[in-house]
Structure formats: structure tokens, C-alpha cells
Amino acid sequence: MPRLEPRNVPQPDLDSPESVLYYAASVALCASSPGELVRKFLREHDLIGNIRLLSIGKAAYSMAISASEILGERIERALIVTKYGHCGPLPRGWENVEAGHPIPDERSLLAGKRTEEFCSDLKSEDLVLVLLSGGGSSLLEIPEDGLELEDLVRWNRTLLECGADISEINSVRILLSKIKGGGLLEKILPANSVTLVLSDVLGDDLSKVASGPMTPAKPDRDSIYRIFKKYNLIADPKIESLISIRGRSESGADPKAEKNSSENTDQGSERIFSETEAAPISERNTIHCIGNLSLALDAVVKDWKSKNLTVSVLTSSLNCEAKEAGSFLGSIALEYSRNAKKPSLFLCGGETIVTHDGKGKGGRNQELALAFAKRIRGETGIFLLSLATDGTDGPTDAAGAYVDGETWDKIGSSADPEELLRKHESYSALEISDSLLFTGPTGTNVNDIQFLWITPGEG
């Protein structure tokens, strides 16, 4: 498939499904590009003090460069922490560290060390502009006392493979780290700080973006134990010790007793996802969400309506197994294509999960698209583009996939698509049908978006 380059996509040709979906995706990506969002905020807010810039996450580079366009030489020092291959040319004197994602590595620890050094001599008259985007959880790391890198690698990999959602994963990450859950804020004090967040978390809970380094939060013992029970995980002695030392409990009871109590409670009546308790940020240390999934979806809806075309948002909180999401979206597409009277664009947003053993190659969007292709096999007039807005779908170089009613049988001409889907080998499957979507690093990160184009009367 042709590479998707958002700013070079022409107006949609309604007779070309690929043109339509590429255009819709480009509108979403351009609207959520953090550059203009950062520039807009800085034009509207006067920053006072000696400015240092700390940019963390997969969108760190584009956010930092945009800040420099407004602040220029007022930035006395800058550090960018981002994913390998996501940083470009920097102003003289700026520093950057590229590190591992989604699993931390030695460079993640180096980023933590450099960040500590960056904050070590801050004074009350200084102001740190923190630019935060998704991915920071693995890119920047300072392990809790008693933990080594191998502990972080093991637990990150376990959580990513067991099917836990990002909120649950980040709750455990906060427990394991000195930099998360407000740890970075502690290092910045007594300086002032302004934090601009590009949210990749459903509901925009800022304590979860990059595991909330600027948002004070303390792990809740009960919720940590619920996560472990839900995914049949066993807390090793190091984790048990951290839960005992760091875990918050309203009752103040012994954590082991709480664990036994929680295991005998009906989970259906509990709030499984209330893992952390966030403290308010002071006037000297403010935090602002400048971009999110809703912004991207709204931009597509507005653009489509301006062309007098039909568009609907099915959900902005898609959060389930990728296979299930793909199959369900396929069912919606089949139902609508049999009854609708005009071409329509449907949008979904969120972040699905893939529960696997770590052996398959693919990502959330690829697996969703493959399951969708199975559900609409042989149909005409139904087309789906599923996109990771950061340009990286799982541990692959693809951003997602574009599929239609012919995709499943194209794969079947030289492989067993059912077996590939079962083994989570969506990348290999979609490579056969030339369905993989490539963008390279997009400079943004606001969850995943599915673009469903239906031309009724052709099925």
C-alpha cells in the first residue's frame, strides 16, 4: 500500500475507498499534531521565570521544537526523552536520550539519570516546561529501591502480554518506579512547573499518561491485588514488599489481610479500575491537557460535515480484545450496508488489547483489522482503516492496516489466515495481502482510530 503522509493527502475521491480513508486519517492526524497545540498554549500564556524544557514521550520531539519556535532563547536548557528514531535535529546545547518502548531498557535508566541531573540544581525562581505524551512510561525510568532493570522488563512484559489495559498497566508501573506517580514533580520542586499533556489515555486521566510523572498518586493496595488476581499474576517478594511499603489503604489494615479479603469479595460490585488517588496540583505547578482523541475525532466529523457527507462516531472508548472489536465492527458494517441509502463514514476510537504469549508479530490495529476482514469476507462496499496515531502499532514498523471484503481470501491464497489470527501473527497475514499501513513516526499519540467506510447497495 502507498505510505500515508498526512500533510500530503489530496481531497477524497468518493469513488476510491482508499482515498476516502487516507484523507479521513490525515485529517485526524493533522488535528492532533501537538505542534500547533503547544504553540497555541504558549501564545496564550505568559511563562515567567528562568525556563527549562523537559519533553518526554513519543511526541516529545515535535512538542519541544514547537515550544522553541515560541520561546526561542528564553529556554536556558532542554532535555528530550523519546523513542528510538523519533528525534530529529536539535537547537545547539539541547540534549536528547532515545530509549526503549514499550519495554524499558538501559537507555531508559540513562534517561532517568539525566532527568535527575537536569532537576538537581533547580531553584524557586526557575520554571520547568514539561511536555508529556504517551510512551513515557517505558522511556523514562528510575526503579524503586530493591528493583533492577530486569525486574522492570519482566513485569512490563508480563503486564503487556496478559491482556491488562493501559490504566491497569500504569497502576502497577507507578508502584515499581520512583519517577512515576508524581515522582518527577518531587524532583522539580521547589521550582515552578507548567505541564502540557497530549493524552493517549481514555477519559484523559492525567495520572495515567506516561504513568503520571507530574501527577501525585499513591498506589492503592486493594486495586493492585485485584489486578494481580484478575490476570492470575503472582506478586514476587519484591512486589509484596513494595505494596506493603508504598500502598495506600483507607482502612490501614495489614495488606495481606486485605488481599485475602479482596479475594473473597464479589468483584461485580467493586470499582476494579480505581487504582490510584491523585492529589491536586498547586498554583505553582499546573498541568493542562492540550490534545486528545476527542479532538481528532471532532476534526474529522467537522470536516466531513462541511462536505455534506454522512459521518458518525460509534464510540470514543473502544476498550476490549482486538479480535472482539474487529468482529463486532464487522457485524455493524454488515448490518448497515444492507439497509443504508448513502455512503457513510463511521469512526471509532480507543485502545484495544491483545492477550498473547509474546511470540506473534503484530499490533492492536492489525489484529483488529484481520478479525474484521474475516467477518466481512466476500462482501463488497465495506472498507476499514485501523490506525495507531503515533505511527507504530505494537512492536512493528506498521501503523495499522487497510482491509476490505477481499483481504481474507487474498491471505488464504498462500497461508491459513485463521491460524495466523489464532497465533496473533497479524503482521505476517496482512503483509501477504499488501494491507499493512505505514506512516513512520507521526509526531502525535492520541490512541487508536478506526475509519469505516461503507458504500451501501454494492454488497
Query: How far, in Å, CA of 210 to CA of 190, rounded?
Result: 22
What per-residue string of b and e applies to 20-31 under the rule 16 or more CB within 10 Å gives b?
Answer: bbbbbbbbbbbb
Distances (CA, A) of 8 to 22, 27, 62, 364, 445: 10, 11, 18, 26, 19
- What would the pLDDT profile of 128-165 be if each residue is shown by its tens digit? 999 999 999 999 999 999 999 999 999 999 999 898 98
Angle of helix 221-230 relative to helix 166-176, nearest 10 degrees, comes to 120
> What are the φ/ψ torsions at residue 321 (nearest 5 degrees)?
-60, 135
Region 235-239 average pLDDT: 89
- What would the pLDDT profile of 75-100 be if each residue is shown by its tens digit? 999 999 999 999 999 999 999 999 99
CATH number for the domain whose boundaries are 17-31+294-454: 3.40.1480.10
Question: Is the pLDDT reported for residue 359 higher than 90?
Answer: no
- What would the pLDDT profile of 16-31 be if each residue is shown by its tens digit? 999 999 999 999 999 9
- What would the pLDDT profile of 101-123 be if each residue is shown by its tens digit? 999 999 999 999 999 999 999 99
Quote the pLDDT of residue 290.
95
Quote the pLDDT of residue 264.
35
Percent of the chain residues past pLDDT 70, beyond the cut = 92
In degrees to the nearest 10, what's the CA dihedral of 137, 138, 141, 144? 80
Q: Rounded to two decimals, what is the model's pTM?
A: 0.87
**Which regions of the chain carry the CATH code 3.40.1480.10?**
17-31+294-454
Mean pLDDT over the full length of the chain: 90
Quote the pLDDT of residue 1.
85
Instruction: Report the top-level CATH class of 47-250+282-291.
Output: alpha beta
Quote the pLDDT of residue 250.
47
Quote the pLDDT of residue 248.
65
**Which regions of the chain carry the CATH code 3.40.50.10180?**
47-250+282-291
Q: Sorting pLDDT into bands at 50, 70 and 90, what band is 235? A: confident
In 199-322, beta strands by DSSP E: 217-219, 276-278, 285-291, 310-318
Polymer length in residues for the chain: 459
Contact 126, 47 (CB under 8 A): no
Grid coordinates of 173: 508501573
- What would the pLDDT profile of 48-68 be if each residue is shown by its tens digit? 989 999 999 999 999 999 999
Question: Is the pLDDT reported for residue 74 higher than 90?
Answer: yes
Question: Is the pLDDT reported for residue 459 higher than 50?
Answer: no
Q: Sorting pLDDT into bands at 50, 70 and 90, what band is 244? A: confident
Region 343-348 average pLDDT: 97
Q: Sorting pLDDT into bands at 50, 70 and 90, what band is 357? A: confident
Region 314-320 average pLDDT: 95
- What would the pLDDT profile of 373-419 be if each residue is shown by its tens digit? 999 999 999 999 999 999 999 999 999 999 999 999 999 999 999 99
Q: Sorting pLDDT into bands at 50, 70 and 90, what band is 268? A: very low
Query: How far, in Å, CA of 298 to CA of 143, rounded?
Result: 39
Query: How far, in Å, CA of 72 to CA of 69, rounded?
Result: 6
Grid coordinates of 37: 497545540
- Beta-carbon neighbour count of residue 218 at 10 Å? 17
